[in-house]
Every structure is written in structure tokens, then in C-alpha cells.
Amino acid sequence: MRQKPTILDRRIVATSRLFCVEELKLRFSNGVERTYERLASKGAGYGAVMIVAMLDADHAVLVEEYCGGTDAYELSLPKGLIEPGEDVLAAAERELKEEAGFGARQLEHLTELSLSPGYMSQKIQVVLATDLYEERLEGDEPEPMRVDKVNLHELSALAQNPQFTEGRALAALYLARDLLAQRGVFLS
């Protein structure tokens, strides 16, 4: 296992309402020194959750919401922050109800994904939700989200959709598809 670099100095160089930019001065094991910047969440950082919610054996729920980063309405999986004192599965259940109007009788943690580990510390927990039922909770979204679906056998086509650009969501869908295929769950 490689030796991690030594942190020579660490400081916050910029802050906003949501993020801190942290500068790290590092020395690698070969003596080379570099300065890195990384985006870190402000506050306690309880994490986030993304849900692959299966409507049936082949179709997963997608939601459409406005995304400030791309200045566009994007399709993705339901997701959100884990609240203080909330575990991953409870957060998944709440976010699914708030964003898509479904609860799930079965929830299973699949994995943890990062977005861009070279400069972001945030990670997201991926949860598989099955045996759905209709139930809506009021969330913090500024407008109702449109609910759509995707056939897990058509993920290559989804990846070509200009309204679906989130790599983590695509990875989560492929992971869920492969797991469900291993379990022999698919209808077609």
C-alpha cells in the first residue's frame, strides 16, 4: 500500500453558503511538494443518498429537476442529503417519498460512490429500493419534480440522452441492473 502524502499545511481559502474550498500543501514520499485545492461540504457533513427505485422488475424511477450547475432541467435518480441522526436507509426512504412520491418496503445499501475524488470530498450512498408503494412527503424542492422511468435494459440509450448527464446516477443504474440480473429478477 502506498504511503499517503504528508499534509504540511491546510487552510480554508474560500467559503460560500454550501461549500468551503480547502487548500492542502502536501509532500509526497518522493519529496515532491504540491498544493491541492478541494471542495468540501460545510458543516458536519452527514453525507448524501441516491436511490435506484424499481417500479417493476425492469424499470427504475427517474426524476426531473432544475440543476444550477448545468443551468438545465436534468433527469436523474432521486437523491438528497442525509439529515443529522438519520441512517442511510431512512434517508433513502424519505428522499424517495419527497422527490418521487413512492415509499419502499425493501431497501438495500449497494455501495458508496464519489463524484470527483481529485478535488471533491463528498460521497454518496447508493440504495436499491424495491416493492414500491405510493406515498408522498413534502420536501424542500422549490417546485414539483416530474417523475419518469427508465428500462434497465436501455441504459446505453439513456446515456445518450442530453437531459441525463450525471455519471453517478448512470453507475448506480448499471450496478443495480447487474445485481438484479445476478439474482434472476428481470422480466424480459
Task: Give me the average pLDDT of each 10-residue run along the chain (188 residues).
Answer: 92 87 93 91 74 96 92 95 94 97 97 86 92 93 92 96 95 96 79
Q: Is the dihedral of CA 176, 53, 146, 167 positive or negative?
A: negative
CA pair distance 78, 96, nearest whole angstrom: 6
Q: Residue 43: what pLDDT?
A: 53
pLDDT tens string 28-61 = 999 999 999 988 766 556 789 999 999 999 999 9
Q: Residue 122: what pLDDT?
A: 82
Options 3.60.20.10, 3.30.1340.10, 3.40.720.10, 3.90.79.10; which CATH number does 48-183 get? 3.90.79.10
- Pairing mode, if any, of strands 123-134 and 48-53? parallel
Contact 6, 30 (CB under 8 A): no
pTM reported for the whole predicted model = 0.88
**Residue 112 CB: number of other CB atoms within 10 A?**
11
Question: E strand or H helix at 161, and its extent?
Answer: none
For 156, the 3-state DSSP assignment is helix
